């Protein structure tokens, strides 16, 4: 820390992302990326877009936004795109968190960091004993609600009825639904957008569309909510989604069959992995995401993570009171998961 750091940032604890090692032969199951390559056509679209890199990128991201509108059955003014969904979430916290925020104790670790960075008060609402979000806990709340659905790192999902309930019971607050993992089996709050002016759905191309390194996210909601987000964006960084990423995102959306095939492969491999882990005596939470949150028999989450690391397999561990017994394992290819199960057998014997 230098002598110059603003006082209000001196106690800020930054978010710690999962390891991104450059070592070969590692099986990387720690940051919920897709194990599959970008969609066919993405590389060519990026190469073609590079021809105009001397120019600023399209502020409206017109093609990408039009394709998103078609894909999700919305009007273009109900969508805005961002440099990863982390950015749009940060904009939303600033736009709608003025009266404070409410989110679960166990959820995406970035929420408390943004709250602290922007000086917003955070009310932490514990998940129940089985790691469920209890919609009734958010009733008549006086602040912006943030729900990751499916939740991270538990993988558990709320049904649409519960999200509707939260939206209904908080008519004067924005309800941000972070759907980073919804493509893997959750129910989307998108169905609420035509009916509720307070529901903002946030999505990313990082987990289910093979573009984590491209940094592309988007938000969908009532046109006035989207306007508010653009107000923050135009007060910070209007050119937030670069030319190459816009081209990559549009090309990915033009391959719906590839998207389907990838998410089906993940769902199948997840089912197989859960079965194998349960056979080995693990407790595995019911996951609707591209990862599982699992507790190894007779072993802490950190201990299991370390043992896997020694066998060149990376997974994620959250050293907090309620999550210490668990390890979060991203769903990779079938081969990667077979290697994880094999290594786990060795560790347990
Ligand atoms: C990965 C993740 C994000 C961020 O995704 P990016 O689009 O890569 O910034 C947001 N929310 C949750 C819950 C995530 O797990």
Name the residue with higher pLDDT: 21 or 212: 212
**152 Cβ below 6 A of ligand 1:** yes
Please name every residue paired with 101 in a beta bridge, in sequence order, or none if there are none. 122, 144
pLDDT in tens, 287-328: 999 999 999 999 999 999 999 999 999 999 999 999 999 999
pLDDT for 25 equals: 85
Query: Is 106's C-beta closer than 6 angstroms to any atom of ligand 1?
Result: no
Mutational test site, ligand 1, from 15, 156, 180, max ligand atoms within 8 Å of CB: 180
- DSSP code of residue 190: G
**DSSP label of 52:** G
Query: CA nearest 21: which of 13, 12, 31, 10?
Result: 31
Q: What is the mean pLDDT of residues 235-258?
A: 98
Are 313 and 26 in contact, with CB atoms under 8 Å apart?
yes
Half-sphere exposure of 85 (CA within 13 A, CB side): 26
Task: Tell me the percentage of the chain whose pLDDT exceeds 90.
Answer: 96
Give residue-wise pLDDT tens across range 46-67.
999 999 999 999 999 999 999 9
Q: Render the burial of 13-32: b for 16+ CB within 10 Å, e for the rest.
A: eeeeebeeeeeeeebbbbbb
The SS3 of residue 176 is: strand
**Mean pLDDT of the 194-199 span:** 98
Structure token pair of residue 277? 């882990």
Cβ atoms of residues 217 and 81 within 8 Å: yes
Cα 30 to the chain's mean position, in Å? Answer: 13
Report whether residue 78 contacts ligand 1, using a CB cutoff of 6 Å.
no
Q: Is the pLDDT of residue 85 over 80?
A: yes
What's the pLDDT tens digit per position in 329-349?
A: 999 999 999 999 999 999 999
| pLDDT confidence tier of residue 73, bands split at 50, 70 and 90 | very high
Residue labelled with tokens 């009007």: 75
pLDDT of 173 strictly over 90: yes
> What is residue 24's predicted lDDT score, i.e. its pLDDT?
79
Contact 278, 284 (CB under 8 A): yes
Q: Is 178 in the pocket of ligand 1 (CB under 6 A)?
A: yes
Check residue 22 and give its pLDDT: 78
pLDDT at 23: 77
CA of 108 to the centre of ligand 1 (A): 8
Q: Band the pLDDT of 157: cuts 50, 70, 90.
A: very high
**Angular region, 147: left φ>0, alpha ψ -120 to 50, beta rest:** beta
Give me the numbers of helices (H) and strands (E) for the chain, helices first please: 10, 12
| Bridge-based pairing state of the strands 175-178 and 144-148 | parallel
What pLDDT is recorded for position 21?
82
What are the start-end ranges of the E strands in 191-326? 199-204, 217-221, 283-284, 291-295, 313-314
- Atom index in ligand 1 nearest the CA of residue 89 equals 10
Task: Kindly indicate the confidence band of residue 140, based on its pLDDT and cuts at 50, 70 and 90.
Answer: confident
Q: In the chain, what are the domains?
A: 17-37+257-348 (3.90.1150.10), 42-254 (3.40.640.10)
Residues whose CB is less than 8 angstroms from the CB of residue 258 and which lie 6 or more positions away in sequence, other chains included: 39, 40
E strands, the chain, in order: 27-28, 79-82, 101-104, 122-125, 144-148, 175-178, 199-204, 217-221, 283-284, 291-295, 313-314, 327-330
Cis peptide before 153 (omega within 30 of 0): yes
Residue with tokens 């595995």: 284
Residue 97 CA to ligand 1 center (angstroms) comes to 19
At 96-134, the pLDDT tens digits run: 999 999 999 999 999 999 999 999 999 999 999 999 999
Probe residue for ligand 1, chosen from 206, 208, 210 as the CB with the greatest number of ligand atoms within 8 Å: 206
Tell me, in angstroms, the distance from the centre of ligand 1 to residue 310's CA.
Answer: 27
Average pLDDT over residues 279-289: 98
């Amino acid at each position: 820390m230098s002598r110059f750091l603003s006082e209000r940032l001196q106690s800020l604890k930054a978010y710690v992302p999962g390891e991104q090692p450059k070592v070969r032969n590692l099986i990387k199951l720690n940051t919920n990326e897709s194990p599959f390559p970008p969609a066919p056509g993405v590389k060519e679209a990026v190469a073609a877009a590079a021809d105009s890199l001397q120019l600023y990128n399209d502020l409206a991201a017109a093609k990408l936004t039009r394709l998103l509108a078609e894909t999700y059955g919305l009007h273009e003014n109900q969508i805005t795109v961002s440099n990863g969904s982390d950015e749009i979430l940060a904009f939303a916290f600033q736009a709608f968190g003025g009266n404070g925020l409410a989110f679960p104790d166990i959820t995406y670790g970035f929420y408390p960091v943004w709250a602290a960075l922007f000086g917003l008060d955070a009310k932490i609402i514990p998940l129940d004993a089985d790691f469920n979000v209890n919609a009734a806990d958010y009733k008549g709340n006086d602040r912006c609600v943030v729900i990751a659905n499916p939740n991270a790192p538990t993988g558990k999902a709320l049904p649409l009825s519960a999200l509707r309930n939260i939206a209904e019971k908080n008519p004067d607050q924005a309800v941000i639904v972070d759907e980073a993992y919804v493509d893997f089996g959750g129910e989307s709050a998108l169905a609420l957008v035509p009916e509720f002016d307070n529901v903002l759905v946030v999505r990313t191309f990082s987990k289910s569309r093979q573009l984590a390194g491209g940094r592309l996210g988007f938000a969908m909601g009532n046109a006035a909510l989207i306007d508010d987000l653009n107000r923050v964006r135009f007060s910070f960084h209007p050119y937030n989604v670069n030319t190459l990423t816009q081209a990559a995102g549009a090309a990915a959306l033009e391959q719906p069959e590839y998207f389907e095939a990838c998410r089906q492969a993940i769902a199948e491999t997840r089912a197989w992995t859960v079965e194998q882990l349960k056979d080995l005596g693990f407790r595995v939470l019911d996951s609707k995401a591209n990862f599982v949150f699992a507790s190894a028999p007779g072993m802490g989450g950190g201990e299991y993570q370390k043992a896997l690391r020694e066998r060149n397999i990376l997974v994620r561990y959250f050293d907090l009171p309620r999550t210490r017994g668990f390890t979060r394992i991203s769903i990779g290819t079938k081969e990667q998961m077979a290697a994880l199960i094999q290594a786990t057998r060795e560790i347990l014997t």
